């Protein structure tokens, strides 16, 4: 029942919190008119009659303003205390985990997970998997990367799928539930894709399994939560499929991409040489098929530019990140996917021809400044 309650939480009613403040004291309109239109005449007595009420009004306004400032400052200090308490709790929780990430460095799904771990200052070890032999993950029946092994005390849990990894670990940091309980909320499910191939999908993978108070504290409202989920899924279902057609767009770009992959990846000398030339040729051909499969334009850059500008428009001009003053899981997902193109022609073109660069640099800075 506990599991069902958390899965069904999105159907529940969100709490609405409102903070009201009235820092100044006012006067009725007729009283203000009386101050302005007092008895005529000049001299000290008349001046005193007119000046006295004005002085009282000014004093009342000043007192009200001071009280307002006091309560505002007190509220901000309390908010800072609560934020510090939550940070301390998260630090305590994160210190209980020993994480090992099995990855290909140039994989956009792996990059998403690294962006999340780095932003949340979760220490982890990296095992670079050989993409040919994949001996490093022979312990796992799940043969894709990323995979995260999470040691929590005596309990060792395996987390599969980038979005499940992120959702499960964020749920852990916010709720403090045991990780072995959390992963039961994301059961694997076998399915057959459009190509007739059996694939493994995971239920609830964009949900954080929080109770109402935890969700209210994190999101403030259902709209923010729904928005984050929508764009996390968009990053997986659309944005990531624009990467290969763009980085393998031409033979020269394909060769440059594989030169980068070989340098950053876990290849032997012979494997590296074969991957660089044979892989580049193969992926150049495959990228054309991917372009057709995903109904991309002849110039795939146009799809990349459109996606980048669509994301910037969704973030909007009134907030630095989709998460408001700090990146949320959607910000980190989009950043992680795009980051794998850094240093390649497609990335430079995107930065020149779209409006995404300011947002991208803000996320990059936020991750770099995360406490280590």
Annotated active-site positions, please?
A: 104, 107, 109-110
Beta strands in the chain (DSSP E): 97-103, 124-128, 147-152, 155-160, 188-192, 198-202
Phi-psi region of 214 (alpha: psi -120 to 50; beta: other; left: phi over 0): alpha
Q: Spell out the residues 6+ positions from residue 294 whose beta carbon is closer than 8 angstroms to its own.
A: 241, 242, 245
For residues 18 and 21, what is the distance between their CA atoms, to the nearest angstrom? 10
Question: How far is the CA of 66 from the CAs of 22, 27, 41, 77, 79, in angstroms?
Answer: 11, 17, 35, 16, 20
First CA to last CA across the chain, in angstroms? 38
Rg value, the chain, Cα? 28
For residues 357 and 360, what is the distance between their CA atoms, to the nearest angstrom? 5
Q: Are strands 97-103 and 124-128 parallel, antiparallel or unpaired?
A: parallel
């Amino acid at each position: 029942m506990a599991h069902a309650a958390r899965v069904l939480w999105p159907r529940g009613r969100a709490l609405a919190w409102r903070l009201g403040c009235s820092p100044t004291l006012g006067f009725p309109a007729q009283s203000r008119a009386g101050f302005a239109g007092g008895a005529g005449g000049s001299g000290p007595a008349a001046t005193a009659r007119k000046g006295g009420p004005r002085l009282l009004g000014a004093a009342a306004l000043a007192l009200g303003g001071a009280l307002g400032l006091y309560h505002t400052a007190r509220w901000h200090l309390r908010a800072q205390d609560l934020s510090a308490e939550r940070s301390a709790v998260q630090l305590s929780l994160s210190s209980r985990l020993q994480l090992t990430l099995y990855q290909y460095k140039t994989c956009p799904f792996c990059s998403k997970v690294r962006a999340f771990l780095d932003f949340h200052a979760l220490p982890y070890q990296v095992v670079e998997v050989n993409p040919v032999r994949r001996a490093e993950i022979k312990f796992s029946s799940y043969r894709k990367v990323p995979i995260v092994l999470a040691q929590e005390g005596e309990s060792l849990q395996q987390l599969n799928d980038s979005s499940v990894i992120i959702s499960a670990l964020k749920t852990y940091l916010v709720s403090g539930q045991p990780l072995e309980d959390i992963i039961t909320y994301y059961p694997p499910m076998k399915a057959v894709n459009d190509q007739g191939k059996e694939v493994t999908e995971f239920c609830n993978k964009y949900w954080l399994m929080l109770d109402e108070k935890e969700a209210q504290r994190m999101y403030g409202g259902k709209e923010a939560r729904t928005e984050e989920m929508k764009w996390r899924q968009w990053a997986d279902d659309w944005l990531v499929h624009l990467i290969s057609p763009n980085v393998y767009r031409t033979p020269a770009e394909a060769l440059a991409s594989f030169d980068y992959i070989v340098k950053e990846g876990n290849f032997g000398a012979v494997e590296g040489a074969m991957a660089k030339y044979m892989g580049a040729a193969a992926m150049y051909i495959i990228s054309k098929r991917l372009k057709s499969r995903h109904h991309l334009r002849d110039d795939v850059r146009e799809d990349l530019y459109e996606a980048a500008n669509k994301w910037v428009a969704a973030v909007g001009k009134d907030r630095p990140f989709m998460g408001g003053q700090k990146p949320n899981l959607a910000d980190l997902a989009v950043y992680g996917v795009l980051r794998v193109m850094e240093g390649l022609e497609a990335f430079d073109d995107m930065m020149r021809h779209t409006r995404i660069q300011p947002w991208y640099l803000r996320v990059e800075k936020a991750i770099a400044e995360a406490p280590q």
